[in-house]
Structure 1
């Protein structure tokens, strides 16, 4: 099974990882795991002021802060994940990566906002569900 794990470093990511590693009956067989983290783009003026090289370094550093502990955790559980980081709108980038990579499943933690919270703040999970053609497992 080819699984895309959308990670953001939150406690919801930790819950999703715990679910993945404790439910072998659901995820039996060979697991090919890829981590994806998406960084919000810097404002265009800030990006122009610091330059492409510094902005790209910032994105890479932020992605590493999020993915390094997850990689360590998964390696302790016998998985050797690939790591991808993107810049853009998280919901759309996760959906695009899932389809482009021909994944069997997208897993992500969900903050579980109320309907009003989703209306006001939006929801990455809602966007992924709306745009993704790959099955999505939300862990809350």
Structure 2
């Protein structure tokens, strides 16, 4: 199975990683391929146009590494293998489009567990992903 795990560096992402570690045989066995994805919010276009392209590229790389490096260390500590990917864009769009375009079998997300009213008022990446993604989604709260 090809599994995409979306992380953002939050406590909810850590719960997701802990869930994977606790259920390693089911999700991280030799028959599964796991990719961890982090979406970095883009710099507003007007501001980005004033920045050197290499500076902006370095900024995105550094922001991605802030989230991916602890996940790499977690996976190494537990002896898990995975690919680590950082993309720039709106998290819900990046996650949904990556899951579909790269033909993942399952998408895993950590969730804050807001109520329906909370999602309506504040929005939720998980809610948007589930609404726009055709790939099965597993939410870990």
TM-score norm. by structure 2 comes to: 0.92
Q: Which blocks of at least 5 consecutive residues in structure 2 are unaligned?
A: none
CA gap 1:54/1:115 in 2 versus in 1, 3 angstroms = same
CA gap 1:48/1:115 in 2 versus in 1, 3 angstroms = same
Which residue in 2 is equivalent to 1:8? Answer: 8
* Alignment length (residue pairs): 140
The Cα RMSD (Å) is 1.4
Which residue in 2 is equivalent to 1:123? Answer: 124
TM-score norm. by structure 1 comes to: 0.92
Q: Which blocks of at least 5 consecutive residues in structure 1 are unaligned?
A: none
Which residue in 2 is equivalent to 1:114? Answer: 115
* More displaced stretch, 66-75 vs 17-26: 17-26
Which residue in 1 is equivalent to 2:96? Answer: 95
Shift of 1:28: 6.4
Alpha-carbon displacement from aligned partner over 1:23-43 (angstroms, at most 9, x marks no partner): 145326323111100011111
